Structure 1
Amino acid sequence: MVRFLRYRQENWKRQRAIDGYIVDFFCYSARLVIELDGSQHYTEEGEEYDSIRTEVLERYQLEVMRFLNSEVDRNFDYVCLAIEEKVRERTGSPF
């Protein structure tokens, strides 16, 4: 994922702190957060924590996209396409 985002027109940051939370990837111009989730995110506690965290991030007009780690491994092209489409939607410019 790092290689995919590194060579994009948009300026992506990895492991960015936002209001006390560390997000996996952040694009300021698209106001977009990408989270790559492991199995711990799908426990009751993990889902509650992520819900609160997403609410906090949305207060900054950020959109959060979540992908399972396994989804990235098995269907990398789909994940990249989904991110490209969201960036286009949020910025109005090609990715």
Structure 2
Amino acid sequence: MARISDFQVKDVVNVADGKKLGNIVDLDIDQSNGKITSIILTKPGKGLNFFSKEEEMTIYWNDIVKIGEDVILVKYRSSVDLDENQASPVKYT
């Protein structure tokens, strides 16, 4: 059995590019069956101060690839990434 505090000390890393996405600050749990549906992260450092708001990101449980001792590997694709099916840009001559 794992505790929430065990998850909070692990780094969350995107397997697509190897970048650290952040640290877990919360979990979403389905109240009907008690299963974790997603993890909530805060994005790493941007010179946080008292007045700044940390950005949060949600990773769905199905996107978790592996949970290791020190790291959680996830498949994450940001909305700014290009889709492979997207048409190539038009070139003007």
Fold match (TM-score > 0.5): no
TM-score normalised by the chain length of structure 2: 0.26
Structure with greater Cα Rg: 2
TM-score normalised by the chain length of structure 1: 0.25
Higher helix proportion (structure 1 or 2): 1
